[in-house]
Structure 1
Amino acid sequence: MNVNFTLRCDTCGENTNVRFGMSNRAVQPVRFACQTCGSPIDIVIGGPKAGTIPTITGATRTKDRMPFDAETNFVDLHLDFPVSFEPYQMGMTPFMRASQRISFKDMSLHSMRLRHLDAEMDKARYFQTLLKLYAKEKFVPFKLNIERTFGIKVKSDLPQDINAALYLLIAHMMIAYEYPHQSFEAAQSYYDIICEAAETHQAKLDAFVGDLLAGGFLKNLQLDVLEIYPKMLDAELAIRPALFLDFDEDYSANPIPMRVSAKEFQDYKDLYKDISEIISRQLVLVAGLNNVLKRGDADTFKPKLNANGKNLAPADLHAFADVAFGQKQDWIDDSWYDVLEGSMSNRLRNAIAHYKTEYDEITQLVTYYPKKEGMEQAQGEEIYFLEFVRRLLITYREMHRLHHLIKSLFYYNYLARQKGEASPAA
C-alpha cells in the first residue's frame, strides 16, 4: 500500500510530491530533505488511532497534485527498502523496485527479519535493563526479569548458567541483524581453535586466559560490547533498508545511490566509531590465540627487523593493544581468523574519529577526509548514507562475531581451565 500526497516546505515554500510506501511497522517515522532548500521534513504515519493520516513537521500538506507531474519535486519513501532517487514513475513503487532486485525467497527472508524486529522492538527497553543488571552483577533481578519477560530460565547461580541465559537473550533480540549462519560458524571455529591451542599449548593458553581475566580486560571488553546492542536497536530505522542489501547482488557488485528514509548520517557516525574501537581491542584476543598457536606464547609476535636490525614487532600483547587499529592485522601473521570484508575501514573510522566529515542532506552523500592535510582538506572520499549504514551493519556483525570469542574464552575458563581440563565449551 502507498499513500500519495503533496507537501509545501515551511522554509522555502516549494512543493514536494511524496509517495509513502507503507511498512508493517506500527509507527513509521521517515525524514527527507527539501530538494530546494535542504530543510528537514519529518513524516510519521501510525500510532494509536492514527491510521494512515500523516503527522508532518517542517512542511504543510497542500492540495494533492494527482497524478504527480514531472515539474514538482518528488520523493519516494519506505522504511523497509532502499528507495530510488529517480523521478516519479507511476507503478514503480519502492516495493516494486525492491522486488525486482532480489528473489521471492530472499524477499520472504527479509520480511521475516523485519517482522521479528517489529514484534520485539517493544521489549528493547527491558532488554537494555537486563544488560545493565548483568553488568552490575544484580543477578537476582536479572534472573527474575529475564524469565518473566523473555521466558528464559537461569538454571543456577553458576557463572556459566548466567552467561548462557545472557547469550540466549542476545541471540533472541539481535537475530534480525545477523547474516544467516554467521554466528554459528564463528562459535564453531572458536571452539576448534581453542581446542587446538589447549591440546598443543595448554599451559600457555591457561596463562593467556588468566591474564585476560586478572587485569579485567576480558570482562571490560564484554561489557563494552553489551552497551552496543541497545544502540544498534535504536538504529533500527536506518538498518532496515541495509538488511535488504544482504540479498541484493547487483548492489554488492556496484553500489548505487539509493535513499534511506529515516534519520541522518550524523545520528550514527559515533556508533560506527565506537564499534570500530571495540573491534580494535577484540583483535587482542585474536592475536593472543594466534601467537599461542604459532609460537607457543601469547605475547610473542613474529619478528620484523628494520634495516638496523631492530625488531619492530610489538613486545607483547600490551604493546599490541596500543597499535593503531589500521595496523593491527599486519602483526597477526597467517591469522586463523578471517575478518568480514568491509568491516574494518580504518580510513572511514579515522575521518569520523579524528578529522572531518561532511553530509549533504538532499543527496545523502557523505564526504570524509581520512588523512591529515594541514589547513587544507582537498582529498576527500565519498560514500552514500545507505552504503555507510551497510558498513555500520557489517562492522557490528564483526564485533558480534568476536563477542562469541569472548564468550568462548569465558567458558574455557569456567569449564576447563578452572577444573584443569582441556575441553572448552562453545
Structure 2
Amino acid sequence: MEVKFDRESLEQQDRYFIDLHLDFPVWSTSYVMGQTPYLVASGMVDKDKIVIKGVPAVEIFRIRLDILNHFGERFNEVKQLLKLYPRNNKELFRKKAIEFLKEDRPTSTAPEDINLLLYTVLSRVSSAFLEQDTVEEITSTYPQIIMHLSQTQRSQLDEFYNHIKETGFLNSLQRDCLSLYGRIFEIELYLRPAIFLDFCTGQEGKKSSAKVSKLGFENCKDMYKDLSEIVGRQLALVAGINNLIHRSNHNSFLPSKDGAALSSLDKFANKTLSEKLKYLDDCWYKIDDELLNTGVRNSIAHYTFEYNEETQIITCFPNKEGLRQETKLEITFLSFMRMILVQFREMHYLHHLIKSLYYYEYLILNKKP
C-alpha cells in the first residue's frame, strides 16, 4: 500500500515526500521518481545483513510476510485449535491439528506424540515472528541440559519437576502461553515494520504507517502487559534449573546485591521481573537486553503513560511522583512494537523449555524400569 501526495505537490522540489507502506517503517525525504518502498527499504538494510546465509534479507522478509498473510487470515482457527489442546479429548486435537497442518502425520494420542504435534503447530504459525537460528539453538540446547541433569542429579531434577507439576504451575503456564499465539495475529499489522528492524539498526525512531487508532494502541498495550507477565512467570523455570546446575537444589538461591538469599522457588515467583533477574547468578539462559526496559513496563502496567496518535509518541512516567509526574521518557510506537516482538520471541523460546520438561516426564520420568 502506497500513499502519495498529489502530483502538484510532488513537483515542488522544496516539499517532502512521505511514502507509506504497511510493511516498512515510514521515511520522509525528497521525492525521487521510481523509488518504491521496496527499493528504499532495501537501502536501509545493514551492510552485514544484505545477504544472510546466501539469501537476501529482503527475500527473507518477503517470506515472513507471506507467512503472516497466510496465517493472519486463519488466526481464529489458530485460537480454536489451541483451545482444544488442554482438553481431555486428545483425538479431537490430533485430528484438527493434522487438518490444520495439511500433513498426513503418523501420530497417536500418546502424550509425547500430542506434545510434538502441538509444538509443530506453534513453530509453524509463529515462524514469521522468530529468528530461526535461535530456534534451532534452543531446541537442541534445552534437551541437552535436562538430559545432563537427569544423568547427574536425577532425584533433584525429579523433585523440581514434581513440584512445578503438582502445584499446577507448569500446566497453567503452558495454557497462558498458548493463549497468546492467536492474539499476536490480531496486532500483526503493527508488528510488520518491527520485524523488518531485524535487518537494519537504528531505525526505531521512525513511524509506522499503519492507521494507529486509540483502540489499536489499547490492543497492543494489553498484549505487552500479558507478555511481560507470562515471561516473568517463565523465569521460575529458568531459576529452578539454574539452581540445580549450580547448587543441586531448585530452592537454593544466592543472596542478591540488594538483599538476602531467597528461601524457595515460590518466593522467587512472587518477585517482579527486574527483581527476579538479580537472583539468576551466572545464568545458563541469557535474557535479551531489549526485554529489560523496566521504565516502560512499569508505566504501561500502572497506566502512567500518554499516547499521542498523531506523533505516535508514547510518554511514560515510570516514577512515583505524586501529582507532578515530572520524570518522563518517550518512545515511538515502532520502538514499542519492537519491544512486543522481543517479548513474544522470549515467550516462545521459553515455551520450548516447557515442551522439553514435558518430554522429560513422558519419556524418562514415567518410563517403566
Task: Name which structure has the greater RCO, CA cutoff 8 Å, separation 6+.
Answer: 2
Match of 2:59 among 93, 101, 108: 108
2:206 and 2:266 map into 1 onto residues whose CA distance is 42
Match of 2:87 among 119, 133, 136: 136
Match of 2:304 in 1: 356
Matches within 5 A, 1:83-122: 83-86=26-29, 90-102=33-45, 103=50, 105-122=56-73
Match of 1:44 in 2: none
1:211 and 2:166 aligned = no
1:88 and 1:362 map into 2 onto residues whose CA distance is 23
- Given the superposition, is the C-alpha separation of residues 369 and 175 from structure 1 closer, same or farther in structure 2, using an over 3 Å criterion? same
- Given the superposition, is the C-alpha separation of residues 239 and 2 from structure 1 closer, same or farther in structure 2, using an over 3 Å criterion? closer
Match of 2:22 in 1: 79
Deviations 1:177-219 (A, max 9, x none): 1112111211222112112222221101001001111111001
- Given the superposition, is the C-alpha separation of residues 384 and 204 from structure 1 closer, same or farther in structure 2, using an over 3 Å criterion? same
1:261 and 2:213 aligned = no
The answer as to whether partners of 1:114 and 1:176 remain within 8 angstroms in 2 is yes
Match of 2:75 in 1: 124
Matches within 5 A, 1:222-301: 222-251=174-203, 255-263=204-212, 264-301=216-253
TM-score normalised by the chain length of structure 1: 0.78
Matches within 5 A, 1:291-330: 291-303=243-255, 312-330=260-278
The answer as to whether partners of 1:83 and 1:259 remain within 8 angstroms in 2 is yes
Question: Structure 1: which amino acid aligns with 2:122?
Answer: I
List alignment gaps of at least 5 residues for structure 1: 5-16, 19-63, 422-426
Give identity over the alignment, percent.
37
The answer as to whether partners of 1:344 and 1:395 remain within 8 angstroms in 2 is no
* SS of residue in 2 equivalent to 1:336: coil
The answer as to whether partners of 1:358 and 1:366 remain within 8 angstroms in 2 is yes
- Given the superposition, is the C-alpha separation of residues 304 and 357 from structure 1 closer, same or farther in structure 2, using an over 3 Å criterion? closer
Aligned residues: 357
* SS of residue in 1 equivalent to 2:322: coil
The structure where helix makes up a greater share of residues is: 2
- Given the superposition, is the C-alpha separation of residues 420 and 378 from structure 1 closer, same or farther in structure 2, using an over 3 Å criterion? farther
The structure where strand makes up a greater share of residues is: 1
Deviation at 1:75, TM superposition (A): 4.5
The answer as to whether partners of 1:290 and 1:298 remain within 8 angstroms in 2 is yes
Deviates more, 1:407-416 or 1:64-73: 64-73
* SS of residue in 1 equivalent to 2:68: helix
1:148 and 1:201 map into 2 onto residues whose CA distance is 41
1:360 and 1:93 map into 2 onto residues whose CA distance is 28
- Given the superposition, is the C-alpha separation of residues 72 and 85 from structure 1 closer, same or farther in structure 2, using an over 3 Å criterion? closer
Question: Structure 2: which amino acid aligns with 1:84?
Answer: W
Question: Structure 2: which amino acid aligns with 1:378?
Answer: E
* SS of residue in 2 equivalent to 1:358: strand
1:68 and 1:327 map into 2 onto residues whose CA distance is 57
Q: CA RMSD in A?
A: 2.3
The answer as to whether partners of 1:260 and 1:385 remain within 8 angstroms in 2 is no
The answer as to whether partners of 1:351 and 1:370 remain within 8 angstroms in 2 is yes
- Given the superposition, is the C-alpha separation of residues 73 and 67 from structure 1 closer, same or farther in structure 2, using an over 3 Å criterion? closer
2:248 and 2:257 map into 1 onto residues whose CA distance is 21
- Given the superposition, is the C-alpha separation of residues 351 and 420 from structure 1 closer, same or farther in structure 2, using an over 3 Å criterion? farther
Deviations 1:107-166 (A, max 9, x none): 111111111222232222221111011133332322222222322436111111111111
Deviates more, 1:324-333 or 1:70-79: 70-79
